[in-house]
Structure 1
Amino acid sequence: MSIEFHWGPAPDGIDTPYWDGLRAGELRLQRCAECRAWIWGPQWLCPHCHTFDPGWESVEPVGTVYSWSRSWYPFISELPVATPYVTVLVELPQAGDRRVLGILSEPEPAKVRVRIGDRVTGRFELDEGATWPLLRWTLAPEGTR
């Protein structure tokens, strides 16, 4: 059995505005125009008020580490990430505390000290040969976390 890795918009298009935002250097999440609830992951209707086709809004890619994990082997061979790497679940206060997953960009991932609550900032990076950019996170300087 082979698992096909998909990097970019889903075939049904539900998350295309997210990926288009990354290309434009923006983090875009869904927000219901009716009840103003933030939504992540992408949905066809608002899970709070059931309005169809929630909109998308840009959010500053700044948040705090909610959880993290250091990985010593690649989960997906198609994703060009050197091992080890640190995956972070980032809570976004400007988006109703929605949480997004990403890779922490640090020069020495095997040695980096990450703590729950550390402040992080997102960067949009297009790897060589890639069609779609990725959102990667960096830790705030030690004295400002």
Structure 2
Amino acid sequence: MTPSAGAARKFPATALTGPYADGLDLPYWEGLRAGELRLQRCAECDLWIWGPRWMCGRCQTFDPEWVAVEPVGRVFSWSRTWHPFIPELAGELPYVTVLVELPHAGGRRVLGLLAESGDTDIAIGDAVAGIIQQPSEAPWPLLRWQRAHTSSETERGAQR
């Protein structure tokens, strides 16, 4: 099933979401439930941390705090997947995985799925914004990324 150009899809991969058994990433998931993207930041040295850690890798302070971050950034890298590596996404092929660099989190990079996987014009450096989907059938929300189209991109598309 291929969506129309620019259409956002809902991914059914909710079985892949939720905190690990050790609870280290629970504040991340609780943040998504509250409509926020939360990452760790060391209260001692201000280092942004992702993925979750029990202690800061710079100053070795334990229990970095979880801070809400504006979910906007730029595509640092991306990959389109055509092979069903995991059964939960087999019906959603192709899908695009993006590595997003977050300027409001010290340049930390977060991996996620692009909401518009039919978008063939994705490029490194594209501005993206996070959207949090709260699926009714799953206990945990999903973070997806969508391109933030500028007015010049819209004009270019109209000229094609």
Q: TM-score, normalised by structure 1?
A: 0.88
| Percentage of matched positions with identical amino acids | 60
SS of residue in 2 equivalent to 1:94: helix
Q: Could you say which residue in structure 1 is the equivalent of 2:32?
A: 22
Cα separation, 1, equivalents of 2:91 and 2:150? 24
CA RMSD in angstroms comes to 1.9
Amino acid of the residue matched to residue 22 of structure 1? L
Q: Could you say which residue in structure 1 is the equivalent of 2:107?
A: 97
Cα–Cα, structure 1 residues 29 and 129, in superposed 2: closer, same or farther, change >3 Å?
A: same
Aligned residues: 139
Q: Could you say which residue in structure 2 is the equivalent of 1:48?
A: 58
Once the two structures are superposed, what CA deviation does each residue of 1:16-43 show, in whole Å capped at 9, x if it has no partner?
0000001111000000000010000000
1:126 matches 2:134 = yes
Q: Which runs of 5+ in 1 are unaligned?
A: none
Q: Could you say which residue in structure 2 is the equivalent of 1:57?
A: 67
Q: Could you say which residue in structure 1 is the equivalent of 2:144?
A: 136
Cα–Cα, structure 1 residues 144 and 35, in superposed 2: closer, same or farther, change >3 Å?
A: farther
Q: Could you say which residue in structure 1 is the equivalent of 2:11?
A: none
Cα separation, 1, equivalents of 2:119 and 2:115? 12
Q: Which runs of 5+ in 2 are unaligned?
A: 1-14, 154-160
1:85 matches 2:98 = no
Q: Could you say which residue in structure 2 is the equivalent of 1:7?
A: 17
More helix by share: 2
In the TM superposition, what is the alpha-carbon distance from 1:126 to its structure 2 partner? Answer: 2.5
SS of residue in 2 equivalent to 1:51: coil
Larger radius of gyration: 2
Q: TM-score, normalised by structure 2?
A: 0.80
Q: Could you say which residue in structure 1 is the equivalent of 2:41?
A: 31
Cα separation, 1, equivalents of 2:90 and 2:52? 25
Amino acid of the residue matched to residue 54 of structure 1? P
Cα separation, 2, equivalents of 1:104 and 1:35? 33
Cα separation, 2, equivalents of 1:50 and 1:144? 46
Amino acid of the residue matched to residue 112 of structure 2? G
Amino acid of the residue matched to residue 118 of structure 1? D
Once the two structures are superposed, what CA deviation does each residue of 1:42-91 show, in whole Å capped at 9, x if it has no partner?
00000000000100000000000000000113332235861111110000
